[in-house]
């Protein structure tokens, strides 16, 4: 039953051209902005410079997740989905899996595609950067999916996350060693720094906990609210 639900949710995503385009933008935005960052001769953090574009590619990732999730809360779509999969928890699990897997695949492709743009990276840094890029983008997409399920609005979700990612994160960019290091984006991006403020894998774990909390709240909202 879960496999059938997952297949149905994937078909919804695959048949919406805007969502497929948004997945492509993750790759294009990340590679494009990383290439621009690589033109700067004064590189202090070669790994972060190589993956600089992730700061912009993540906007496409959260937009993809928010749009895919929000589509269920328009025009009675959720009632149709639940008619096919009455178990709301199973349906929501299939939905977030159908969102997370393509972002993970595109994120890994992006992480590998960006590597040739870097210079001065060790083999270990390259592997960490590619894997960290894929995991980080996936976790941020899942965070957006969970938040959208709570708010039942992609616009509201993007109205919160996009300013946070583009403005707040840059404002606190120099506040290393503070509570800011444990915000979802700052923690996860530790994997993309040569000398991070926190352990890279611990940072991704923290981002994962933020995402898990959002997904848990989203699942509760789906179970408790009328379709």
Prediction pTM value: 0.94
Q: Judge contact between 137 and 53, C-beta under 8 A.
A: no
Q: In this predicted structure, what is the pLDDT of residue 123?
A: 93
**How would residue 173 be classed by pLDDT, with cut points 50, 70 and 90?**
low
Given a contact cutoff of 8 angstroms between Cβ atoms, the answer to whether 206 and 134 are in contact is no
Percent of the chain whose pLDDT exceeds 90: 75
Dump pLDDT digits (tens) for 69-93: 999 998 889 999 998 899 999 999 9
* Residue 133 and residue 111 in contact, taking contact as beta carbons nearer than 8 Å: yes
Residue 88: its pLDDT value, please?
94
- What is the percent of the chain with per-residue pLDDT over 70, rounded to a whole number? 93
pLDDT, tens digit (0-9, with 9 covering 90-100), for 208-217: 999 999 999 9
Taking alpha carbons only, the member of 1, 214, 171, 157 closest to residue 94 is 1
User: How many domains, in total, are found in the chain?
Assistant: 1
Count of C-beta atoms within a 10 Å radius of residue 129: 27
What are the helix and strand counts (H, E) for the chain?
Answer: 11, 0
pLDDT at residue 174 in the model:
58
Query: Does 32 score more than 70 pLDDT?
Result: yes
CA separation for the pair 136, 133 (Å, rounded): 5
Range of the domain at 61: 2-224
What was the pLDDT predicted at 169? 66
Q: Give helix 17-37 / helix 88-114 axis angle, nearest 10°.
A: 30
């Amino acid at each position: 039953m879960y496999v059938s639900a997952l297949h149905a949710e994937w078909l919804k995503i695959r048949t919406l051209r805007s969502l497929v385009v948004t997945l492509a933008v993750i790759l294009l935005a990340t590679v494009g902005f990383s290439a621009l960052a690589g033109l700067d001769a004064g590189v202090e953090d070669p790994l972060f410079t190589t993956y600089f574009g992730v700061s912009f590619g993540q906007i496409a990732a959260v937009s993809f997740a928010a749009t895919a999730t929000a589509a269920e809360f328009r025009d009675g779509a959720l009632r149709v989905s639940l008619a096919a999969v009455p178990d709301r928890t199973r349906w929501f699990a299939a939905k977030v899996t159908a969102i997370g897997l393509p972002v993970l695949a595109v994120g890994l492709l992006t992480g590998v595609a960006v590597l040739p743009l870097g210079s001065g990276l060790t083999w270990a840094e390259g592997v960490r950067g590619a894997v960290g890029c894929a995991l980080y983008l996936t976790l941020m997409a899942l965070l957006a999916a969970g938040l959208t399920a709570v708010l039942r609005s992609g616009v509201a979700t993007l109205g919160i996350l996009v300013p946070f990612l583009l403005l707040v994160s840059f404002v606190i960019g120099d506040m290393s060693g503070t509570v800011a290091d444990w915000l979802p984006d700052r923690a996860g991006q530790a994997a993309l720094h040569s000398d991070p403020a926190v352990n890279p894998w611990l940072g991704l774990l923290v981002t994962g906990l933020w995402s898990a909390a959002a997904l848990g709240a989203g699942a509760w909202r789906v179970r408790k609210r009328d379709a």
